[in-house]
Amino acid sequence: MICLASKPVDTRSKISSWQTPQSRPAKRDRWLFSLLPLILMAQFSYSANATKPAGGPDPQVVEGSNQFGWNLLSQLVAEGTASSTSAGIFISPAGITTCLYLAVAGAEGETRRELLKSLGVDAAAKDVEKSARNLISRYEPPSEETSGTLNKPAADEVVLHSANGVWVRDGLSFSAGYLAKAQEAFEAETGPLNVAAINAWVARRTENRIPSIINEISADTIAILTNAVYFRGRWKEPFIKMATKDAEFTRTDGSVVNWPFMNRDGDFEYGESPLGKAVVLPYASQAGLRMIAVLPNKSPAELLRSLDKDKAWSSLVASLTMQEGSVSLPRFQARCSFQSSEMMKAMQAAGIRRAFSAADAEFDAMVPRNDVQRTLGPDAILYIDKVAHELFLNVDEVGTEVVAATVTVTPTVSIPDSQFELKLDRPFLIVIEDPSTKTILFAGVLLDPSVKMPE
């Protein structure tokens, strides 16, 4: 959510439902963003102080999205964000950057240039929004005809849907140019800033996995931008449930917990480098979607500091070769939530600053300034006030999904001698990517599989 707020803040304004009681004095919100399913929102507030493209996304947009994701994840892991209440720290680089490009479409001047620079794209580039839409858009959003079918068996056992929405408060309208970009480049649904309408959109786009996300909208909210992603994937070769055995997982602080580990042997894309040991676990996807797990030689934070350097990830992936071996992977669920202050701090470290400034932000191409000032006062301007992100991830013997499906397999507990043995028994990196475009869809670090998800 991207929010445009007023300065000074009206403390009598309603508090959005994603705010916690502790954060109310500072009016901190959270990006609401989930992997399975995923919601990303950008909420805009005001300050009184100053045609879908064919094919895949542009390689520059992909590389910029991946790099921004590494920068963001590295900052969040270094800060230990959400680690005390979640099994790990996970984000969707493609989902976050898609929503940011919805903001880029309404930005002007230095604000637009700074956003594009942070996203690794030349400020002079044209039609970047269309290419950015294709980061996830080639995986169609669920239609009315396909609604309710996500958990039914299909020839392709991977489902990845993406959808976008833009919402504006009564009495104001998005500019014609912004609406054209939002609808043509992002196929965004548009509507008034209305709790019922936004919740209905979220429920429909996430197959009712998230029936609602807000109860109230604060009085200073001007617009909300949303991106929803639903992902469910079954392994190309499922782990045998009878082979799952308890084993020790060593946490970052050195403590140990016994936890169920899934075990499988066979041929894997595998490699070792100064950064760590990496293995590919493919999904049953015609598009070739896959998970890559990396056990770092040092800490996850040090690994991420290396990966946020130019082309380090692509070099690591290119070094993988098909080898015979065995893999041991903990079963886990993770629900990772971020407060607005946490995400905004990480984004500022990644180079986004003007967009969050009540004095410097330029989003006049989204909602004309004259309209804003006529409605809200002569000094009102728009800026990004809040960012919320929540992600849910479930990994088990069947695959990565919200509700595990039943798969018939031949039971066995025999794991033969192997050429390599990779046991992911301490904090490690997880990446879900589309190798055909090199787009990183989801990435994160598993810190403790035993942490129970908050209710």
Query: Over 50: is that where the pLDDT of 289 sits?
Result: yes
> Over the stretch 416-451, which tens digit does the pLDDT of each residue have?
444 899 999 999 999 999 888 889 989 999 999 998
What average pLDDT does range 94-115 have in this prediction?
91
What average pLDDT does range 394-399 have in this prediction?
72
> Over the stretch 150-208, which tens digit does the pLDDT of each residue have?
334 344 577 777 778 888 888 889 999 999 999 888 888 888 888 888 888 877 876 66
User: If pLDDT is split at 50, 70 and 90, which confidence band does 276 have?
Assistant: very high
Query: Over 70: is that where the pLDDT of 50 sits?
Result: no
CA pair distance 451, 87, nearest whole angstrom: 5
What average pLDDT does range 207-218 have in this prediction?
69
Going through 235-302 in order, the beta strands assigned E by DSSP cover 245-250, 256-273, 276-282, 290-296
Provide the whole-model pTM. Answer: 0.81
Enumerate domains of the chain plus CATH numbers: 2-232+335-392 (3.30.497.10), 241-331+397-446 (2.30.39.10)
What average pLDDT does range 29-40 have in this prediction?
35
**For residue 123, what pLDDT is reported?**
81
Among 57-61, 291-295, 351-355, the range scoring the smallest mean pLDDT is 57-61
DSSP for 113-152, please give it. Answer: HHHHHHTT--TT-SSHHHHHHTTTTTSPPP-TTTTT-TTS
Query: Over 90: is that where the pLDDT of 46 sits?
Result: no
**For residue 42, what pLDDT is reported?**
61
For helices 59-79 and 300-307, angle between their N-to-C axes, nearest 10 degrees: 150
CA pair distance 222, 367, nearest whole angstrom: 9
According to the per-residue pLDDT averaged within each range, which of 4-13, 156-165, 379-388, 426-435 is highest?
A: 426-435
